[in-house]
Structure 1
């Protein structure tokens, strides 16, 4: 074989190897995209129905004599009236079940929160007492799941009896049973009843926790990055600090939860399950990311900027804060947003500080008991009711929306404010 033939054979092998490498890379990317499509498809297919809720349209008389209230009654009297009994009396007269057993089956089709719906209407406008109102009452989660997922099948229902299905079918034929946008999912806090459970408390707790995290981690992280990059002497001590900061970025998040439990709760006595302690723990976890990205942003500022400022008589402090920091700030903000997005999806450290508690009320401040959206998803995923499965996926969709929004904001901010040298 001649030298030319040997070179051509070698080139063919090299080109074949490069082609195989590209194919492997494309296959890896396509496999990753396929996994994402399958994952998101499964989440959206299960969670999309969480944004709709089945209701029963009925006309019910707000009987003041039965409730023992009038339009002039006090708020406390109106709140203590027996609205559940009013609903039961209405359906008992309307459907006329035979015996107590059928009556219990009938009443179980209506949500336990239906009485709260009527109470809210009467509290907002006491003049409706004595009138007949057309109201969209929430139905039980078993009816909701059957109507959204099983209606039209001839297999019946595992959770509903034949008599209950007969009543439900009658409501459907009369056009009384329908689905509408599930505002309850966004305006209510957590509940043991799936049809009443919402994510407002979790979202509020998440926002308050992230607010505490940002107010603590951003100034501390920026100050640490400036000191380490511009002012700290280059000696063994600073090298140890830099190594530890890099190592902290890779520490499992549950370790920060244990640290917060030991220090903030056991030593300083901060209340469990509050946005304050959650923000403190997430600050510890987010600081390494902000410091590392902040130092990278400061390093990206050309040395000529510093030399020009110092040459014109600026002090070291003036050079850093008047020239270097404004130019590095876009990169710092981008790193901060990415760190906050990472904190938004954390669950393990918050479980260690008690934010797994069942909290119904929406928190009003950073020291009120609350939960966060990832923990709410964790709690719902462990519930046996089928309706909580779709609400778990629905909450995941909302969480993914927040994460995509924050990462998109980071990319747009970097592109808009970034300066190329």
Structure 2
């Protein structure tokens, strides 16, 4: 009898040892998977930051240039139009020709190619702001060409060879470095300019403005519609097969690929209603279709989280169904609805595929002023730059990704803080 009981006890102890070992292995596997995911995330962010941090610095050529009024053919009383028509590009070429003294036409072309096309615009803007500069020598930081920018920030002093820079140009650049003319400064153009064919002039202001206007349209449409649909389905809709059919399809729409909504917007809003392509209005309409299921589902979950005792107490005091919903249930469920809306907006912020279907992939230089102006959005701008062969565009692609990730992290952090601040625990 004792031997039998000891044998059973030993079996139980061995079983417990195996169970504890299995539990320990499971915990180790879980920790290893979390650690692996964090390492991948750190590696991804590290690679993006490593490639994109230099996009926030721009190489400039610091020089003192004589604003020759006779060469420009204008005087201090000239109006803005006359200043715009003046040949500032020729003035800059003449200045660097005297400074470097290139031999022959080919060397002159090489010299002029090292200066950005935006340098003449810089000089023009300075004179327009202060016409008294005419006839004086001014110190200015002229934008260098993107090949010079890449050489100065990445290739100088290494064994890397930029095939677009020859030995003569490198010799000139080394001389400028010795003279203190070549340096880097914060790239303000990256934030204040729209898109450009020249990498050193390309910026994200147009894309950010288009993104803001698109998300504004999305929020103004999706939030009231989503909240109204959630309230109706949860509080007022009769429980029948039609309601079940609608609920099932809303849940299914939340898992539909986003490009499907782009096709839907193309077929309905553009082909039937004639909404203009590549505008924040059509982009907001398409993203509204995509975010509505998320907002409705989160809204219904927030309404369900309100305790039944709140409703019962309101009914006991003689409140009507409408008063119970809008005076008691909705205020308590609103924090959860706002959280779901912010998460849906963050999802819309990172979408590219549906916007490609409605023409927001177009090259747009001007910054949009309203929802019906041609524009693009930040994810599409990243897509366009990533397809460009110039090294400087690849650098700006990573820089724009950093800005986009900053917006996404901010929106998700705001959702978490809003939920913790406003939600009530029962």
Question: Normalising by structure 2, what TM-score?
Answer: 0.98
Higher alpha-carbon deviation: 66-75 or 42-51: 66-75
Residue of structure 2 equivalent to 1:414 = 419
Determine which of 47, 52, 56 is the counterpart of 2:57: 52
Deviation by residue 1:203-248 (Cα, 9 ceiling, x = unmatched): 0000000000000000000000000000000000000000000000
Determine which of 395, 403, 407 is the counterpart of 1:398: 403
Residue of structure 2 equivalent to 1:314 = 319
Q: SS at the partner of 2:183? A: strand
Determine which of 107, 114, 124 is the counterpart of 1:109: 114
Distance 1:142 1:388 in 2: 11
- Which residues in structure 2 correspond to 1:133-172 (within 5 Å)? 133-172=138-177
Deviation at 1:158, TM superposition (A): 2.0
- 1:31 is the counterpart of 2:56: no
- Which residues in structure 2 correspond to 1:9-408 (within 5 Å)? 9-408=14-413
- Number of corresponding residues: 421
Deviation by residue 1:23-46 (Cα, 9 ceiling, x = unmatched): 111111111111101100100000
Higher alpha-carbon deviation: 251-260 or 71-80: 71-80
Kindly report the root-mean-square deviation, in angstroms, between the aligned alpha carbons of the 2 structures.
0.8
Change (3 A) 1:27 1:120: same
Distance 1:368 1:93 in 2: 45
Distance 1:55 1:23 in 2: 53
Deviation by residue 1:81-135 (Cα, 9 ceiling, x = unmatched): 1111110011011111001000000001100111111111111122211111100
Deviation at 1:154, TM superposition (A): 4.8
Q: SS at the partner of 2:74? A: coil
Residue of structure 1 equivalent to 2:13 = 8
Deviation by residue 1:281-325 (Cα, 9 ceiling, x = unmatched): 000000000000000000000000001001101100000000000
Distance 2:12 2:196 in 1: 74
Change (3 A) 1:151 1:72: same
Distance 2:26 2:116 in 1: 59
Runs of 5+ consecutive residues of structure 2 not aligned to the other structure: 1-5
Q: SS at the partner of 1:146? A: helix
Question: Normalising by structure 1, what TM-score?
Answer: 0.99
Deviation by residue 1:162-210 (Cα, 9 ceiling, x = unmatched): 1100100000000110001000100000001100000000000000000
Change (3 A) 1:12 1:126: same
Deviation at 1:157, TM superposition (A): 3.3
Distance 1:126 1:348 in 2: 48
Deviation by residue 1:258-279 (Cα, 9 ceiling, x = unmatched): 0000011111111000000000
Distance 2:383 2:335 in 1: 35
Q: SS at the partner of 1:32? A: helix
Runs of 5+ consecutive residues of structure 1 not aligned to the other structure: none
Distance 1:139 1:415 in 2: 49
Distance 2:372 2:69 in 1: 41
Distance 1:123 1:355 in 2: 34
